[in-house]
Chain A
Amino acid sequence: MRELSLHLLDLLENACEAGATEIRVHLEENTGQDTLELVVVDNGPGLPQGANEQAFDPFFTSRRTRHVGLGLPLVKQLVEQVGGSISLESEPGRTEVRLRVPRSHWDLPPLGDIPASLLAVLLREGAPRLIYDHVVDGRRFHFDTADLGAQLAGLPPAHASAAVRLREYLRAGIASLYTSRSSTADESK
């Protein structure tokens, strides 16, 4: 996939398909240490016992409708390609995928459109609560769907105009992390 944000979307979709009602995403970039760390934690039922290693096998899936599951194998392939590390811990009620890669590696795709990936999850019917934290060199953007009311003026996120408004809010918040000023969406509240 040509963006990290597409891998993130894939991980989020996995969590949704597994039945998670709450997903926490922590994305931290540190330019000084040249690291990018992504952690996705959900409260779904977890993988079957002993299946953590199998989860990286493209011909393993916990779903019954088909016999392949490419999301995690693709992330693992990318991480290994750039000399990073990836781990998966799963138990009933908590599954965590954690990856750490060198931020400026030549073969690392760009972060891409994170707001679009977050929005795609929020447009699911019965979307889970999504808590997103993005940190760049100590500057932080925090987003929680539990606090959405003000951004959407009472409309559901799946309403087209509300979705566009939400995407713009996310874009502005994340963009603020990369400006030279240390203003964050949190501080502006």
Chain B
Amino acid sequence: MPRISSVEELKALREQARRELQVRLGTGTRITVGLGTCGIAAGARETMQAILEELERRGIEATVNTVGCIGMCYNEPLVDIEQAGMPRITYGRITADKVPRLIEEHLIKGQVVAEWVVGRMAQEANNGPKS
């Protein structure tokens, strides 16, 4: 990170961060939660609820979708986050108590929570046609 040597530089940096945050949040954030039998048994419905609560509490515009089992049952509950300008990230074992940190770090700060990642799809692949 560049060294900040004046208040003006700090303000400019803050403005840039604010713009980046607006772009991330305003350009189609989509969160997908796996809700097959495996996900349901692992607490995915509660994870879905926690995500909705956290988004509502923070006033974040986002779409929340549910899907069936994708075959990674041992990592349930699975949460997938897609945002413009970022790779699509799949997080594993996201129980409801982990949701505030996930939203804070991934959506607000734009930082992937590396220790919970179980899959990553490059941005180019992410923008391709969906089956």
Cβ of A163 < 8 Å from any Cβ of B? yes
Report if A124 contacts B (CB, 8 A): yes
Interface: B126 (CB within 8 A): no
Interchain residue pairs with CB less than 8 A apart (9): A13-B35, A71-B37, A113-B49, A116-B45, A116-B48, A120-B48, A124-B67, A158-B64, A160-B64
Contact B56 A164 (CB under 8 A): yes
Question: Which A residues are closer than 8 A to B by beta carbons?
Answer: 1, 6, 9-10, 13, 16-17, 65-66, 69-71, 74, 113, 116-117, 119-121, 123-125, 156, 158-161, 163-164, 167
Q: Is the CB of B53 within 8 A of A66?
A: no
Smallest CB–CB gap between A3 and chain B, Å?
A: 9
Contact residue among A16, A65, A167 (Cβ-Cβ distance under 8 Å from B71):
A65
How far, in Å, is A8 (CB) from chain B's closest CB? Answer: 10
Chain A binding surface, main DSSP class: helix
Assess whether B65 is interfacial by the CB under 8 Å rule.
Answer: yes
Residues of B within 8 A of A120 (CB): 35, 45, 48, 66
Residues of chain A with a CB closer than 8 A to B41's CB = 1, 6
Q: Measured between alpha carbons, how far is A37 from B47 in the docked complex, in Å?
A: 28
Closest partner residue, chain B, to A72 (CB atom):
B37
Per the bound structure, the CA–CA distance linking A17 and B56 in Å amounts to: 29
Contact status A13-B37, CB under 8 Å: yes
Residues of B within 8 A of A (CB): 33, 35-37, 40-41, 45-46, 48-49, 51-53, 55-56, 60-69, 71
Minimum Cβ distance to chain B for residue A55 (Å): 13
> Which chain A residues border B60 with CB–CB below 8 Å?
160
Task: Assess the A163–B40 pair: CB atoms within 8 A.
Answer: no
Which residues from chain B contact A119 at a C-beta distance below 8 Å? Answer: 48
Interface-centre pick from B33, B55, B71 (highest chain A CB count, 10 A): B55
CA distance A1 to B44 in the complex (A): 12
Name the one of A1, A9, A66, A164 contacting B35, with C-beta atoms under 8 angstroms: A9
New contact pairs (15) apart from A1-B41, A66-B69, A116-B46, CB-CB < 8 Å: A1-B40, A6-B40, A13-B37, A66-B71, A74-B37, A116-B48, A120-B48, A156-B63, A158-B63, A158-B64, A160-B56, A161-B55, A161-B56, A164-B53, A167-B52
Set A1, A65, A160: member contacting B55, Cβ < 8 A: A160
Contact of A163 among B45, B46, B52 (CB under 8 A): B52
**Which residues of the partner chain B approach A167 to less than 8 Å between Cβ atoms?**
49, 52
**Would A10 and B67 count as touching, CB distance under 8 A?**
no
A129 to B117, CA, bound (A): 34
By beta carbon, the residue of chain A nearest B73 is A66
Residues of B within 8 A of A121 (CB): 66
* Closest residue of B by beta carbon distance from A65: B71
A117 to chain B, nearest CB (A): 7
Query: Contact between B45 and A117 (Cβ–Cβ < 8 Å)?
Result: yes
**Contact A159–B40 (Cβ < 8 Å):** no
Once the chains bind, are A163 and B64 in contact (CB under 8 Å)? Answer: yes
Contact B40 A13 (CB under 8 A): yes
